[in-house]
Amino acid sequence: MAERKRYIDIEIPILDSTMRILGTPEDLNNKTIKLDLTRKLRGKGLTVTFRIVNREGKLFGIPNKMVLVSSYIQQMIRKRCDYVEDSFKAQCADIRVTVKPFLITRKRVSRAIRKNLRNTTKELLLEYLKERDYSTICNELLDNNLQKTLFPKLKKIYPLSFCDLRVFETKELEKIDIEKVLENQVKEIIEDDIQEIKEETSKESTKDTLDTEQQE
């Protein structure tokens, strides 16, 4: 007798959240769900496709593909500017990925400058990705750390108004160590929580100091 479908909690460690989907653990295993993170990322139009993995009856969503939505990119493009895009395969520390960087210059530029930007971006990304595993890169993309690393290096060639990865995906998700991915993402959540606690403690300490000074 087939198992009756029911709403099942699926943990999304990279977002520190849980969502409910109708189905069974067996049916949902290896299925994909697509989430629009525009509101969560404060206006950045990003959709993430998660692949569901079943670990001893518990379901987790692992990022499989990240895509900047077309409408968001169109908003970034202004008149009298150029954009530079590329698409290539890259090797992370654990698996291969497809990367599609997208740059927007502040003004019109020559073909030579666009080529220089494209080649330099590829070189920087290939070097950057090979030193980090797939899970770490996904976290850095959501936190904009990778983009912040690229931006100052590329603006030395020509000032940019936008620098990001339009697409970041893999077709080798089954090759990664899922347990390690979950462990890294949980560790990331804990570190963020600790940082928030430190910031709150610092604010309270500063406030107490000011109150003491005013009383004196």
Residue 7: is its pLDDT beyond 90? no
Superfamily assignment of 77-173 in CATH? Answer: Band 7 domain (3.30.479.30)
- In angstroms, the CA 69 to CA 134 distance is 22
149 token code pair: 């690393």
Counting residues of the chain whose pLDDT is more than 70, the rounded percentage is 81
16 backbone φψ class: left, alpha, beta (φ>0; ψ -120 to 50):
left
Pinpoint the residues of the chain covered by CATH 3.30.479.30. Answer: 77-173
- In angstroms, the CA 28 to CA 64 distance is 15
Q: What is the pLDDT of residue 97?
A: 95
> Residue 40's closest CA among 72, 15, 13?
15
C-alpha 148: how far from chain center: 13
9-21 as b/e, with b when 16 or more CB fall inside 10 Å?
Answer: ebbbbbbeeebeb
C-alpha 3: how far from chain center: 35
C-alpha to C-alpha distances, 81 to 101, 111, 154, 158, nearest whole angstrom: 17, 13, 16, 12
122 token code pair: 């590829």
Of residues 211 and 1, more confidently modeled: 211
> Tens digits of per-residue pLDDT, 22-55?
888 888 888 999 999 998 888 889 999 999 988 8
> Residue 14's closest CA among 167, 178, 175, 153?
178
> Tens digits of per-residue pLDDT, 162-193?
999 999 999 988 887 777 766 766 555 545 55
Sign of CA dihedral 20, 21, 22, 23: negative
50 backbone dihedrals φ, ψ, rounded to 5°: -105, 140
pTM, full prediction: 0.79
137 backbone dihedrals φ, ψ, rounded to 5°: -65, -40
DSSP-based three-state secondary structure for 48: strand
